[in-house]
Amino acid sequence: MVEKMKQLIRVAKALSDSNRMKILKLLEQKPLCVCELQTALEIPQPTVSSHMRILQNTNMINSHKDGLWIIYQLAELTDVHINALVKNALKHLTSDKEIRVLINKLKKIDRFDICNTKRKGDE
């Protein structure tokens, strides 16, 4: 029981930061790399990376390598109650004006353009 309480507290602390909530909401749209998140949020790369570490430590996100990038995505939490808490928190933000602006901004952000890199198959 103590471990479940510790996990809940870690998740609650992670959710208590507005940038981390924004990151989770953006990752709800699609998997993203740090440079895309940095561009959308207009915060320094080390700050984004720090937030990503905290979110990974709560198991709310996971990552995989794709060429030059580490791609982050939302993860399903094993505790159904904590998973429901996170999903409800994200759902609650759907109508938030700042979140809607970020989601619209995200539609124009492309990691290949940010890093001036060619896509696979491009010459």
pLDDT at residue 63 in the model? 96
Specify the residue for token string 């103590």: 2
Domains identified in the chain, total number: 1
Find out whether 35 and 64 touch, Cβ atoms under 8 Å. Answer: no
Range of the domain at 69: 2-114
Q: Tell me the C-alpha to C-alpha distance, in Å, between residue 4 and each of 10, 21, 90.
A: 10, 22, 21
Under the banding of pLDDT at 50, 70 and 90, the label for residue 2 is confident
Please, which pLDDT band fits residue 120 given cuts at 50, 70 and 90? low
Mean pLDDT, the chain, whole residue set: 91
For residue 122, give every residue at least 6 positions away whose Cβ sits within 8 Å of its Cβ, in sequence order, or none: none
On whether residue 121 sits in a domain, the answer given is no
CATH assignment at residue 90: 1.10.10.10
Render pLDDT for 65-119 as a digit per residue (tens, 0 to 9).
998 889 999 998 889 999 999 999 999 999 999 999 999 999 999 888 887 666 5
For residues 87 and 121, the model is more confident at 87
